[in-house]
Amino acid sequence: MKNTKRLLALLLSIVMLLSFVGCDIDSSDYGQSSTIESSSSIIDDTSDNLSQITDSKDESSSTPSKDTSSTSAQTPSTTQKPNNSTVGTGTAKAVDPSTLPAYSGTAYTIVNNNQPNFSAAELTTKGYEKYSSLDSLGRCGVALASCGKEIMPGANEERGSISSIKPTGWIQKSYSGVSGGYLWNRCHLIGWQLSAENANRQNLITGTRYMNINGMLPFENMVADYIRETGNHVAYRITPIFEENNLVCSGVQMEAYSIEDEGESICFNVYCYNVQPGITINYATGDSSGPSNSATTSTPSTEKDNTNDNQAASGDMVWIPNSGSKYHSRSGCSNMKNPRQVTKQEAENEGYEPCKKCW
């Protein structure tokens, strides 16, 4: 009898052991996956931001690889699941330029594992904008906002002129290898499509066409399109990084976090390089040089205002869909999905015609 019980116990153990054979445990289920582009570097925030910020509007107030010729904007793929244990508990810190990798052909690099650093007070669904006072050299500081439809331009609101503003380091030159001709753009810190701000001196910096179109604009469009589609709000901070007494910033740090869905749709922290491939820039003064005989210094009479705004409709840049026959001034027009940005001439050469809604 004892031998029989032992035999039955042994058989039961064998059956239980066999039941585990073939179970496949995927270890990836126990970790967080990353959607950060492998070509981008990860940077830590280190230096404090001491800019003084002043209110502009509240909720009642009614936008690559190394290539000297192309400025088509690339769709950023840096939105990832946020680390909510840190978002909403931070104090703003600007990235330390000495920790950044040198520009190597990509318009931006990822900061702080792509996690923004907003405080709880900044994560509000009440729309507002705040801009820093200009410093003793006349340079812009941090721009902060809770972006929502209440501070964006109205449906029939038109962009105003910004040509009266000459940001620090504004020594304009024209180069044959730069799309649109001009090296410098008057870059909005918080883009017009997000703020309806025009000639606001506290919101305009001297930035290259490359940083404008390839670096900043895709992130601005991502935020604007999300707000238009959902009606939600996005905490948004842009920090120009000036080294020592340079009049031109080395780049801008862009942080954003979608508030109502706790960063599920928008969550990024990136640094966009203020460079122009093929052009040498003196950041202390704003002067520049390029290939022999390729540059001319512009004057107010020859400089075109519409080449100096970082918006989808500015200059000769337009949006075209993957299918369709029209080119557009806004990336979100006609519910386009994953449109690409080209020059107006390129679009017309490909057979596209202007959209009647936005042109």
Is residue 28 included in any domain, yes or no?
A: no
Q: Which of 296, 311, 326 is the last residue of a domain?
A: 311
Within this chain, do residues 305 and 321 fall inside the same structural domain, yes or no? no
Domain total for the chain? Answer: 2
Is 130 inside a domain boundary? Answer: yes
68 and 217 in a single domain? The answer is yes
Residues 125 and 179 both lie in one domain: yes
Question: What is the band of 140 on the pLDDT scale with cuts at 50, 70, 90?
Answer: very high
In a domain, 23, yes or no: no
As to burial, measured by CB atoms within 10 angstroms (0-12 exposed, 13-18 middle, 19+ buried), residue 86 is middle
In this structure, are 344 and 202 located in the same domain?
no
| Residue 24 maps to a domain | no
Please give the mean pLDDT across all residues of the chain: 77
pLDDT category at 237 given cuts 50, 70, 90 is very high
291 and 328 in a single domain? The answer is: no
In the chain, the percentage of residues whose pLDDT exceeds 70 is: 67
Percent of residues, the chain, with pLDDT higher than 90: 50
Q: Which region among 4-8, 217-221, 250-254 has the lowest average model confidence (pLDDT)?
A: 4-8
Q: 322 with 299, same domain?
A: no
| Residue ending a domain, choose from 311, 333, 350 | 311
Domain CATH code at residue 165: 3.40.570.10
Where does the pLDDT of residue 10 fall: very low under 50, low under 70, confident under 90, or very high at 90 and above?
low
Pairing state between β 93-95 and 143-147: unpaired
The pLDDT of residue 92 is: 72
Which pLDDT tens digit goes with each residue over 197-233?
Answer: 999 999 999 999 999 999 999 999 999 999 999 999 9
Are 355 and 220 in a shared domain?
Answer: no
For residue 180, the model assigns a pLDDT of: 78
pTM of the model: 0.68
328 pLDDT band (50/70/90 cuts)? confident
- Residue 5 inside a domain? The answer is no
Give the residue with greater pLDDT, 352 vs 173: 173
pLDDT for position 73: 53
In tens, the pLDDT along 56-77 reads: 655 444 333 333 334 445 567 5
Q: Which domain holds residue 272?
A: 36-311
pLDDT value of position 319: 80
Co-location of 234 and 348 in the same domain: no
pLDDT at 120 over 70: yes
- The reply to whether 10 falls in a domain is no
Q: Note whether 157 and 198 are same-domain residues.
A: yes
Classify residue 272: in a domain, yes or no.
Answer: yes
pLDDT digits (tens, 9 = 90+) for 184-199: 999 999 999 999 999 9
| In-domain check, residue 15 | no
136 and 58 within one domain = yes
My answer on whether 150 and 199 are in the same domain is yes
Q: Does residue 321 have a pLDDT over 60?
A: yes
* Same domain as 183, residue 86: yes
Q: What is the pLDDT of residue 40?
A: 36
